[in-house]
Amino acid sequence: MADAPTSNPVGQGAAAAGETATTAHTLRMLLPYLWPPGDTMARMRVVAAVALLILAKVATVYIPIFYAKAVDHLAPKGAHALGNGAAAAAITVPVALIIGYCLLRIASGAFAELRDAVFAAVQQRAVRRIASQTFEHLHKLSLRFHLDRHTGGLSRAIDRGTTGIEQVLRFAVFNIVPTLFELALVTIIMWRIFGWRYALTTLVAVALYVGFTLVFTNYRVRYRRLMNDSDADAQTKAVDSLLNYETVKYFGNERLEISRFDKALEKYERAAVRSQVTLNLLNVGQSVIIALALGAIMLLSAQGVASGHMSVGRFVLANTYLMQLYTPLNFLGFVYREVKQGLVDTEHLFRLMRVGAEIADRPGAHALVPQGRTAALAFEDVRFGYNPEREILKGVSFAIPAGGNLAVVGPTGAGKSTLTRLLFRFYDANSGAICIDGQDLRDLTQDSIRAVIGVVPQDTVLFNDTIRYNIAYGRPGASEAEVEEAARLAQLDAFIKTLPQGYETKVGERGLKLSGGEKQRVAIARTLLKNPAILILDEATSALDTKTEQEIQTALRAIARDRTTLTIAHRLSTVVDADEILVLEQGQVAERGSHWNLLARGGIYAKMWAAQAEQEEGAAAEQALSDLGTDRDQGPRDRPDLASSYSTKEITE
């Protein structure tokens, strides 16, 4: 690439070739958006814009000719006017030329503005389509990609990429190309009017200017890349820190977070200073080349005037052409830098779009159509690991009949939540099969699978919008009555009524304005609104207090009665009514059976049940003692129920 070591000529050649290939690939990817297949209106706009571009440049190159003719009519004829009384003729002709000069300047500017106005729709449509396709592609990528990504850096890459596309389309199409076209016209005119020496001087000056600009700008690209990388790093650290605001405060690590952010900004600062210094050197070099070229043209034309072979008007014409080229050439340097930077930014965006989806629908995959209101679910000898070195599920098999209720319990890390991720096809099993109504998930479209499954996850993350929006997300387009009914079934309506803005209350970033229990009830409500054939409860009541948990469990049992239900639980008291309970241990089914059968067996489940019962009894006793301590100031005589239940010694202890 551009920042390859300069001491290695072979490395330089490979880097240049690689960068050229990358640039060419990026441009090839952009072309279909500039000339959209099947979009006749967009193509007509492009053709009209090109026509206006040509008209604008033709008008531009004729401006100096009218100006030079006006000078010729004024200079020599003006000198004789006093002697021969031909003042009227000397004035009339320049007036016409000046009017023509003004009209050409107006036409040049008007055609250029019309060109931009006509092309604006094509340009903005292209940016919109690329941004939308990138967003859609990111949603198609696997969960593994999104677990590894950095949100701040990814957001920055998309933002810079879309801006870069605008720069490439605007500057490359309507600045570089028009400038080259104007250069060709000027060279031809200089050759026809002044001779080959003027044309050659102009071409050499332009070639030196463009060559110097390209070489120096390519050198400067390395600093732009460093700026991009350090900017993305800084944004990633900032977003990460702000999303974990409470954690930062818990550990008092504000200075650490500021230090990490400042170090990333320090890298950006160094790269930005170098970028600015090299820009200043580039501008100086460009000015020197243009000044030398102007000096050479002036010497040639001055000699022509002195020898009588050239009029003063042509002297002005030669210099005006070069000065007129100076502005777009000077702008060409800026444009090339912007296009180059835009291509670097666009390259990152297209690189994101080239990331392949780990999970994709097979060719010919068909939609899942449940055979009834519920659907049967089966795992058949499923093996899976997030990494090849560590297998999580080791031959798990179970079946849930349509309308059945199966619970999965086990220690942390046994693979319980992995079952949900496989069922949603966030990953595919390494071996074995997962079937719904006897159909392998790999033969079905992902959208149809996810349409029939509803999940209440352990960790609920909400959108930074209203409570109503977050509930209605389960089924966009649901009526207000349906949304409110789902909230009532999730035991959420009473809480919402206490809020000043009710259902229009904003929940904050990731739902942080709500408690854990309130967020989980919103998750339950939106899953109920989805009305799925298969219901997954992944620690669905883990963040709720005992009373609320009992209320919601009653509602969930009523709703699960008509659905196939897979319950993943840590709290065993929530699964005693399951048709079958699976105990996962180290990725394998260690035990299975009903609650009472597993207790009678005296195995892993029975030990887990006894341990949780002991914990709950200890918690209850601790709570009772806490309540007792609160009332000690009143004394037993003020609390006859305590006086009758405890001796004075017990109370004192």
Query: Of the given ranges (120-134, 284-298, 357-371, 618-632), which has the lowest mean pLDDT?
Result: 618-632
- Angstrom CA distances, 200 to 61, 186, 191, 339, stand at 18, 12, 8, 28
Report which secondary-structure segment, H or E, holds 14. helix 9-34
Which band of pLDDT confidence, cut at 50, 70 and 90, is reported for residue 408?
very high
- Angstrom CA distances, 544 to 503, 541, 612, stand at 21, 5, 17
**329 close to 179: Cβ distance less than 8 angstroms:** yes
Q: Taking Cα atoms as reference points, which of 141, 602, 603, 47 lies closest to residue 360?
A: 141
Q: Which residues have CB under 8 Å from 414's CB, separation 6+?
A: 584, 585, 586, 587
Which band of pLDDT confidence, cut at 50, 70 and 90, is reported for residue 76?
low
Other beta carbons within 10 angstroms of residue 209's beta carbon come to 22
Q: What are phi and psi of 589, to 5 degrees?
A: -80, 105
Which band of pLDDT confidence, cut at 50, 70 and 90, is reported for residue 151?
low
Q: Is the pLDDT of residue 378 over 90?
A: yes
Q: Taking Cα atoms as reference points, which of 328, 320, 319, 325 lies closest to residue 295?
A: 319
| CA-angle at 276, arms to 273 and 278, nearest 5° | 110
| pTM of the model as a whole | 0.62
Q: Taking Cα atoms as reference points, which of 469, 461, 527, 518 lies closest to residue 493?
A: 518
DSSP state letter for 356? P
Q: Is the pLDDT of residue 533 over 60?
A: yes
Please give the biggest Cα pair distance in the chain: 138
**137 close to 356: Cβ distance less than 8 angstroms:** no
Q: Taking Cα atoms as reference points, which of 100, 113, 110 lies closest to residue 64?
A: 100
**430 close to 384: Cβ distance less than 8 angstroms:** yes
pLDDT of residue 620: 58
Query: What is the rounded average pLDDT for all residues in the chain?
Result: 77
* 475: its two tokens: 């089924």
Q: Which residues have CB under 8 Å from 492's CB, separation 6+?
A: 518, 521, 522, 524, 525
Percentage of the chain exceeding pLDDT 90: 6
The three state secondary structure string of 363-393 is: CCCECCCCCCCCCCEEEEEEEECCECCECCE
Which band of pLDDT confidence, cut at 50, 70 and 90, is reported for residue 82?
very low
Q: CA 518 to CA 520: how far, in whole Å?
A: 5
Report which secondary-structure segment, H or E, holds 191. helix 177-194
Q: Is the pLDDT of residue 87 over 60?
A: no
| CA-angle at 295, arms to 290 and 299, nearest 5° | 150
Start-to-end Cα distance in the chain? 77
Other beta carbons within 10 angstroms of residue 320's beta carbon come to 17
| CA-angle at 300, arms to 299 and 302, nearest 5° | 65
Q: Is the pLDDT of residue 83 over 70?
A: no
Q: CA 490 to CA 554: how far, in whole Å?
A: 10
pLDDT of residue 78: 41
Domains of the chain: 34-354 (1.20.1560.10), 377-609 (3.40.50.300), 610-653 (no CATH)
Sign of CA dihedral 199, 205, 211, 213: negative
